[in-house]
């Protein structure tokens, strides 16, 4: 049995998909994930018929060990074992909006917004993790939808008509949070660290600077309230800087693209250059070695399906990431 990804001892991994070669004789596979090499404490364990599983949300800057073994009706095979280390993240302090409270009227359907502006962050730093704080006073939560829009224009749904006739929200949205569970004893109906309706990892690879816009859509009359507070915590991968070996930026064109992807660097580099393509789950799909003295080159991604991907350019001392849309 061969493990495909993450590669053994791979660095800078986040939200990995654990992938291995399937074996014709196997009916199922046992997959285990641990923070210890002897697997005496398991973070994750499951039996699956597939040849890949998505790992749970993991802590930054930690080494993890995982293994998989094939099983059929007659015999259990031997474990194939691998390890990887997650990215080292630096996080900006929680930034809260200055425009709250924002009133939500009850006389008819309406939409209101609160905005957090981020500025002054180096343009070479890109989002790796997003957490959102949100307090809402509103009767009958089933009336509302809440979305978050990034400076790059990506919008995800945080809440989608939750909790029927219950009231109020006081939460931190975090991909590592708990599933949304409504509290029907006392308001707020939603409280604590919870997952958003859609993944906050949709923002990975985007720019940090600009307006982060929280929108509350109240779709029915009769109940109102207010956005009481809104804040964002934004994290990026910490990279080193060594003058002529820093990838300060690169361009992808055209974007969206149909598979023949042109990449342009704004400078030549003296270190080896590695290009890697990831899907939204953080799974590494393709790797290219690039001549660092070349300022423009093309890669062929025509065998990938339509969707959103991330292109990472990396030297020994720096890294830059861009979002790519394939049609």
CATH of domain 3-87: 2.60.40.10
CA–CA gap between residue 241 and residue 197 (Å, rounded): 37
Higher pLDDT, 207 or 14: 207
Beta bridge partners of 148: 156, 214
- Residue 306 to residue 239: CA distance in whole angstroms: 30
| Cβ contacts of 213 within 8 Å, gap of 6 or more | 113, 114, 115, 148, 149
Q: 115 pLDDT exceeds 70? A: yes
Q: What is the mean pLDDT of residues 82-111?
A: 93
Handedness of CA 277, 327, 53, 25 (dihedral sign): negative
CATH topology of domain 90-237: Jelly Rolls (2.60.120)
Taking 3-state DSSP, the helix, strand and coil percentages for the chain, each rounded to the nearest 5, stand at: 5, 50, 45
Domain parsing of the chain, residue ranges: 3-87, 90-237, 243-326
Q: What is the pTM of this model?
A: 0.67
DSSP structural state of residue 245: G
- Residue 199: partners with Cβ closer than 8 Å, 6 or more residues away: 156, 175, 280
| Residues 10, 6: Cα–Cα separation, whole Å | 6
pLDDT band for 291, please (50, 70, 90 cuts).
confident
Least confident window among 17-21, 81-85, 285-289, 319-323: 319-323
Structure tokens belonging to residue 78: 């031997």
Count of CB atoms within 10 A of residue 283's CB? 19
User: Which residues contact residue 209 at a Cβ distance below 8 angstroms, ignoring those fewer than 6 apart?
Assistant: 118, 119, 120, 121, 123, 151
pLDDT at 243 over 80: no
Neighbours of 221 (CB within 10 A): 13
Nearest Cα to Cα of residue 81 among 15, 32, 13: 32
Closest CA to 162 of 201, 188, 133: 188
pLDDT digits (tens, 9 = 90+) for 181-214: 999 999 999 999 999 999 998 898 788 999 999 9
CA 273 vs CA 102, 311, 315: distances in Å: 48, 13, 5
| Record: fold of 243-326 | Immunoglobulin-like (2.60.40)
More confident call, 315 vs 18: 18
pLDDT in tens, 15-55: 688 889 888 888 999 999 999 999 999 999 999 999 889 88
Q: Are the folds of 3-87 and 243-326 the same?
A: yes
The full DSSP string for 159-221 is EES-STT---EEEEEEEEEEPP----SSS-SEEEEE--SS-GGGGTTSB-SEEEEEEEEE-SS
Per-position b or e across 12-42, b if 16+ CB within 10 A of its CB: bbbbbbbbbeeeeebebbbbbbbeeeebeee
- Greatest CA separation for the chain: 67
The CA distance from 275 to 55, in Å, is: 23
Length of the chain: 327
Complete DSSP assignment for 47-67: EESSSEEEPPP--TT-EEEEE
Give the pairing of strands 273-278 and 284-290. antiparallel
Residue 313 has pLDDT above 50, yes or no: yes
Query: How many whole angstroms separate alpha carbon 302 and alpha carbon 319?
Result: 24
Residue 261 has what pLDDT? 92
Residue 240 in this model has a pLDDT that exceeds 60: no
Residue 7 pLDDT? 80
């Amino acid at each position: 049995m061969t493990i495909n990804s993450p590669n053994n001892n791979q660095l800078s991994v986040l939200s990995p998909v654990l992938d291995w070669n399937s074996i014709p004789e196997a009916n199922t596979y046992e997959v285990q994930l641990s923070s210890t090499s002897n697997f005496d404490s398991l973070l994750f364990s499951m039996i699956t018929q597939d040849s890949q599983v998505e790992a749970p949300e993991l802590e930054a800057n930690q080494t993890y060990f995982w293994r998989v073994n094939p099983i059929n009706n007659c015999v259990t095979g031997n474990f194939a074992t691998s390890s990887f280390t997650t990215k080292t993240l630096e996080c900006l302090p929680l930034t809260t909006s200055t425009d709250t409270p924002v009133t939500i009227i009850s006389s008819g359907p309406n939409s209101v917004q609160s905005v957090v502006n981020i500025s002054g962050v180096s343009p070479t730093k890109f989002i790796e993790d997003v957490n959102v704080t949100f307090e809402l006073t509103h009767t009958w939560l089933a009336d509302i939808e809440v979305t978050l829009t990034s400076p790059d224009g990506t919008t995800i749904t945080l809440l989608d008509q939750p909790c029927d006739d219950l009231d109020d929200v006081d939460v931190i949205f975090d991909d590592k949070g708990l599933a949304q569970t409504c509290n029907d004893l006392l308001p707020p109906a939603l409280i604590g660290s919870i997952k958003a309706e859609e993944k906050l990892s949709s923002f990975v690879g985007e720019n940090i600077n600009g307006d982060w816009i929280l929108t509350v859509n109240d779709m029915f009359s009769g109940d109102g309230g207010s956005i009481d507070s809104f804040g964002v915590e934004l994290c990026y991968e910490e990279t080193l800087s060594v003058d002529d070996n820093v990838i300060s930026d690169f361009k992808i064109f055209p974007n969206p693209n149909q598979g023949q992807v042109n990449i342009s660097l704004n400078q030549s580099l003296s270190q080896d250059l590695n290009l890697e393509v990831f899907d939204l789950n953080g799974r590494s799909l393709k790797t290219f070695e690039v001549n660092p003295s070349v300022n423009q080159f093309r890669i062929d991604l025509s065998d990938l399906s339509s969707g959103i991907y991330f292109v990472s350019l990396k030297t020994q001392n720096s890294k830059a990431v861009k979002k790519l849309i394939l049609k």
